[in-house]
Structure 1
Amino acid sequence: MNNVKGIKILLVDDEPHILQFLEFGLTNEGFDIRSASDGMSAINIAAEFHPHIVVLDVMLPGMDGWEVCRLLKKNMSNIAIIMLTAKDEVDDRVKGLNIGADDYVVKPFSFEELLARIGARLRNQFPTLFGEVMLGPFRIDDRRKEITYLEQVLELSPTEYELLKYLVINQGIVLSKSTILDQVWGYDFGGEENIVEVYIRSLREKLNDKEHRLIRTLRGAGYRVDLP
């Protein structure tokens, strides 16, 4: 990942070997790192450090990760939280998203996966840190709300823009319809999941993706963007 100087990440986990592993890897990537081993320390450090990203374990002594997440989201206007959980349970993921978590990674995880998810959160929530985001044949300019594909500016509605940006920024990650609805349309959207299919079809037409090689459908799972 390029141009990460000045980007702050707070790591919260009560397992020393995980903290050391993440501190070493993310520091080598160029991030500014702080760490905490319990919830109250995380709250206090975040108030002083003002991190862009918090990598937050669910199972913590005293105050658990859910409560830390809720308090951080309540007290800080723009912060991205990636939950670490040892439980690959739908209920845990739903609970985390409902209290404000932006993403989750299930333990055990690879450093490369976590780094990719950190990059996706930064591009999605802090686009001005990078100016224009270049990903494969796409250039995303969030200040102009403009996406260029193969050097051509796409004519997109506001919702199409947000959907395509979300798909491209999370390239390589399978995104379910429900996740897309929550992130693009919002948690209070009361419509049908089929609206996602309608907008995906429109984007494929505008991208001339007739064979669905760019925006892939994974039956029963969702969609994934594969960039050349």
Structure 2
Amino acid sequence: MMIAIVEDEPKLANLMQGYLTQAGFDTVVYHDGEQALKSILEAPPALLLLDLMLPGLDGMSVCRELRKTNTELPIIMLTARVEEIDRLLGLEIGADDYICKPYSPREVVARVKAVLRRSQPKTDGADQDESFFLDETKAMVTIHGAHCELTRVELFLLKALHDKPGHILSRDQLMHRIYTDNRIVSDRTIDSHVKKLRQKLHDLHPGAEYVHSVYGIGYKFEKP
């Protein structure tokens, strides 16, 4: 699989290229956004590691342009400032994951593998996993045959996270999806609903965690 690395710092790009090559991936490196965008539009890689701060065309613009014609390409955004992640999430530019510098190259390789697993097309029967089932019509969740009812807010909350497995949703994003009447709700309210939802899921599958908190950013859904 070909991994495209768009990073204007040569040492960092070479470091990531070395780790990904060692992990069995083919790699190509671009040092500016315009060159990367042109090449990727012509020949999309299996996954794109995209730095936010680039000379010329920045990472956010590259991502937006790619998403106009390619909604399937897995994109992991890299940023040197943690506060930028909140802004990226709020804009919903279409990245699949976000990593803040400084990072461990091993962590990046692990995140690349995780995003690639999630993005693989389902084959016949591959999505017949009945270990977790969300019934929207009955506002009920079933895990390994055990089930419980959900409140309206818990249902909307779990659906928002379940529809984008592994994708981090900020509290603001969850707020807008749960409360469609534009009411003002505090972060603590969202956290309280998440806590209650987690407890219900834990009661159905003790020891397993389905809703994960990402410190300072939001929440994501992943099956254990």
TM range (shorter): 0.5 to 0.7
AA aligned to 2:20 is: L
For 2:55 and 2:215, how far apart are their aligned partners in 1? 40
Is residue 204 of structure 2 the alignment partner of residue 204 of structure 1? no
Letter in 2 for 1:100: I
Matched-pair contact (CA < 8 Å) for 2:147–2:204: no
Question: Could you say which residue in structure 2 is the equivalent of 1:3?
Answer: none
Q: Which moved more, 1:16-25 or 1:203-212?
A: 203-212
Q: Which amino acid aligns with 2:40?
A: A
Aligned counterparts of 2:114 and 2:121: Cα–Cα separation in 1: 10
**Which residue of 59, 63, 70 corresponds with 1:69?**
63
Q: Which amino acid aligns with 2:161?
A: L
Asked whether the equivalents of residues 171 and 190 of structure 2 are also in contact (C-alpha less than 8 Å), the reply is no
| Largest Rg, 1 or 2 | 2
The 3 A distance-change label for structure 1 pair 112 and 165 is farther
Distance, in Å, in 2 between the alignment partners of 1:221 and 1:117 is 17
Distance 1:94-1:217 versus aligned 2 partners, 3 A rule: closer
Query: 1:96, 1:216 → 2: CA distance?
Result: 19
In structure 2, the residue matched to 1:160 is 158
Q: Provide structure 2 residue ranges, at least 5 long, that are not aligned to the other structure.
A: 134-140
Identity of aligned residues (%): 29
Pairing 1:4-153 to 2, within 5 Å after superposition: 6=1, 8-88=2-82, 90=83, 92-97=84-89, 98=91, 100-102=93-95, 103-126=97-120, 128=122, 131=126, 149=143, 151-152=144-145
1:9-46 Cα deviation digits (max 9, x unpaired): 22101122222211221222233432211111111221
Taking CA–CA contacts closer than 8 Å with sequence separation of 6 or more, which of the two structures ends up with the larger relative contact order? 2
Q: For the structure 1 residues 205 and 53, does the alpha-carbon distance in structure 2 shift closer, same or farther, using more than 3 Å as the test? A: same
Deviations 1:158-217 (A, max 9, x none): 8635535757x47xx9x75346558xx49x894645356436524532431799874577
Q: How many residues are treated as equivalent by the alignment?
A: 204
Distance, in Å, in 1 between the alignment partners of 2:112 and 2:132 is 17
Distance 1:221 1:93 in 2: 7
Tell me the CA shift for residue 120 of structure 1: 4.1
Deviations 1:70-91 (A, max 9, x none): 2112231222322222223x2x
RMSD over equivalenced CA pairs, Å: 4.5
TM-score of the superposition, structure 1-length normalised?
Answer: 0.63
Give me the whole-angstrom Cα distance separating, in 2, the residues matched to 1:210 and 1:148. Answer: 10
Q: What TM-score, normalized to structure 2?
A: 0.64
